Amino acid sequence: MTTTSSNDMTRREVLTTVALGGAALLGSCTSAAPASAEPPRSQPATNTAGASTSNTPALAGKHEIVPLPFRAGALNGLSERLIASHHENNYGGAVKNLNRVEQELSQLSADTPPFVVAALRERELMFRNSKALHEAYFGNLGGNGKRSGAIEGALASAYETSARWEQHMRATGVSLGGGSGWAILGLELDTGGLRTFWSGNHTQVLAISVPLLVMDMYEHSYHIDFGAAAGRYIDAFFANINWEEVNRRYERAQRVSALFRGVPS
């Protein structure tokens, strides 16, 4: 999806975005601007081969790994080894596996056993969401951690104070410590409201929502640096949030939500 104004977007485009779990919107958001810790990216940060446009083959199996929007060693309190390994092995693995699953699914025929289809569909959803959430995660890092902009006021309205929201987000992350999952701040498209939720197995996301801020709580996202001390990782994550990027996502998600609900944005 391109960064068109709300007037340029059709309801069909909005529904396409929603049906894809907001991945299309996220893709455009992560490529919108560089993280503040680094100069502008030299490469696009969006996987256009797998972009969620209505005329793109569903099972092309040609997704590409999106480069980090910052230098792996540039973050504050999150090591280069950790970030590079996470990006290459965990995120990169999801992209490669998604391609393989799509290639397998493209061969589906009337003779394909239902249990094979079921297994492939389960893996497809898991790898597709893992890819999208990892791109959102890396895309919302590289900042100075100082909350500002429209999202600050919106969080205060939704959670009494933005500090109170942070308490919710941190507690959600802590609740996943030692296990696996994602803590996510999203915009619920059918209400236009901000929601904080968790996602297990890359799949249990809030159905009609666009992720604005994504915090990876799988152990691979912190164990190299912090062992089992998930709370220390959460501190480091918050210190590196790129709130400019979160604000860009919020602004776009509001416009998509308005179109989805059929109200003026």
Do 12 and 258 meet the contact criterion of CB atoms below 8 Å apart? no
Q: How many CB atoms lie within 10 A of CB 187?
A: 26
Q: Which is nearer to Fe ion, 36 or 90 (CB)?
A: 90
CB 108 to Fe ion: min, Å:
29
Q: Which is nearer to Fe ion, 1 or 176 (CB)?
A: 176
Closest CA to 211 of 182, 178, 240, 190: 182
> How far is 211 from 132, CA to CA, in rounded Å?
10
Q: Which is nearer to Fe ion, 21 or 147 (CB)?
A: 21
H or E stretch covering 11 = helix 11-19
The tokens for 78 are: 């999150």
CB 40 to Fe ion: min, Å:
25
CB 208 to Fe ion: min, Å:
24
For Fe ion, the binding residues in 209-228 under the rule CB under 5 A are 216, 218, 221
H or E stretch covering 81 = helix 80-85
Q: Which is nearer to Fe ion, 97 or 254 (CB)?
A: 97
Helices and strands (DSSP H and E) totals, the chain? 10, 3
CB 88 to Fe ion: min, Å:
11
For Fe ion, the binding residues in 81-120 under the rule CB under 5 A are 90
Count the site residues for Fe ion by CB under 5 A. 4
CB 230 to Fe ion: min, Å:
13
Q: How far apart are the first and last CA of the chain?
A: 18
Q: Which is nearer to Fe ion, 21 or 181 (CB)?
A: 181
Query: Can you tell me which residue has the tokens 């297990």?
Result: 200
Closest CA to 64 of 83, 80, 45, 82: 45
Regarding 180 and contact with Fe ion (CB under 5 A), the answer is no
The tokens for 22 are: 């907001």
Do 21 and 205 meet the contact criterion of CB atoms below 8 Å apart? yes
CB 182 to Fe ion: min, Å:
8
Q: Which is nearer to Fe ion, 220 or 261 (CB)?
A: 220
CB 201 to Fe ion: min, Å:
12
For Fe ion, the binding residues in 120-179 under the rule CB under 5 A are none
Q: Which is nearer to Fe ion, 139 or 259 (CB)?
A: 139
H or E stretch covering 116 = helix 114-139
Residues that bind Fe ion (CB under 5 A): 90, 216, 218, 221
